[in-house]
Structures are given as C-alpha cells and as structure tokens.
Amino acid sequence: MPVTDTDLLREHGLRVTAPRLAVLDALGGRAHLDADAVLREVRTTLPNVSVQAVYDVLHALADAGLLRRIEPAGHPARYERRTGDNHHHVVCRGCGALDDVDCAVGHAPCLTPSSTSGFAVESAEVTFWGLCPTCRSAA
C-alpha cells in the first residue's frame, strides 16, 4: 500500500484536515512554492480558506518535519516536501527562481568545515547564487 498524505499526517501526530491535505497536495513533486503560491493552489480546491489558515498549516507541517522551509536572503520563504536529505539550493539573484542541488559528494553534511569549534556537525545548508537561464538570456 502506498503511503497517503492522510497516513503521513497521522504518523506525525497531526490531525487530518482538508487544508493540510490541500497544502501537501499543492507542494507535490519537486515544487518549491512561497506561501502566496501555496494559497493560490489551495484555493483551487478550497476557495474559502483564509490566508492565516494556510500560514498556520505551513508552520505546523514544517515544525512536524513534513515540509522544509528555505529562506533565501531578500526573497520570500519557499516550502517543499523534499526533507531530510541535506540537499542544497541554487537561487537566481535576478528573479528569485530556485531549484534543487543534490549533494555533490558523499553524505551529509557533504562539506568539510575548516574547523567546527567542537561541534558535531550533522548537516549543511548551502545556497548557490547566480542568474537563471531566463535572466541570463534577458541580460
């Protein structure tokens, strides 16, 4: 039996609600959406859902580890369902487009710090900045 979003919510101790299911559905595949885009998507199935309800769901799902929140400086936070694999992101400094960068070598944290001050390092969050193909061809 494939694991459904309903199962996922229950496994994480979350009540199953229509907005939570709709948010998970909106973030299917490899999508990285900001809260506004999630709201637009959710409203295609739940037209009366409030902005606050969608924000609350995003926070609850992120706190439970079902969503990852990416916060590139100067751009709205993006949410995605690909969690726990220590992947990185490339962000366009022109339009803010964002995509996944798989770990280049080895396992997490896949970067070797020059010193760790005694910390046991578990993961690294790398943001690569540049210009996306659209912005490059416009330049």
Query: What does the DSSP assignment read for 26-85?
Result: HT-TT--EEHHHHHHHHHTT-TT--HHHHHHHHHHHHHTTSSEEE--TTS--EEES--SS
Between β-strands 98-101 and 68-70, what pairing exists: parallel, antiparallel or unpaired?
A: unpaired
109 lines the binding site for Zn ion (CB under 5 A): no
Question: Minimum distance between the CB of residue 67 and Zn ion, rounded to whole angstroms?
Answer: 11
Contact positions with Zn ion (CB under 5 A) in 21-80 = 80
Considering only the stretches 3-11, 35-43, 49-57, 126-134, report the one whose residues sit in contact with Zn ion under the rule CB under 5 A.
Answer: 126-134
For Zn ion, give the closer residue by CB, 63 or 125: 125
Question: Minimum distance between the CB of residue 34 and Zn ion, rounded to whole angstroms?
Answer: 13
Binder to Zn ion among 49, 97, 108, 126 (CB under 5 A)? 97
Residues 6+ apart with CB under 8 A from 125: 88
Contact of 9 with 20, CB cutoff 8 Å: yes
Closest CA to 97 of 123, 62, 58, 70: 70
Considering only the stretches 16-24, 37-45, 86-94, 118-126, report the one whose residues sit in contact with Zn ion under the rule CB under 5 A.
Answer: 86-94
94 lines the binding site for Zn ion (CB under 5 A): yes
Question: Minimum distance between the CB of residue 107 and Zn ion, rounded to whole angstroms?
Answer: 17
Binder to Zn ion among 95, 101, 121, 138 (CB under 5 A)? 95
Binding site for Zn ion (CB under 5 A): 80, 92, 94-95, 97, 100, 132, 135
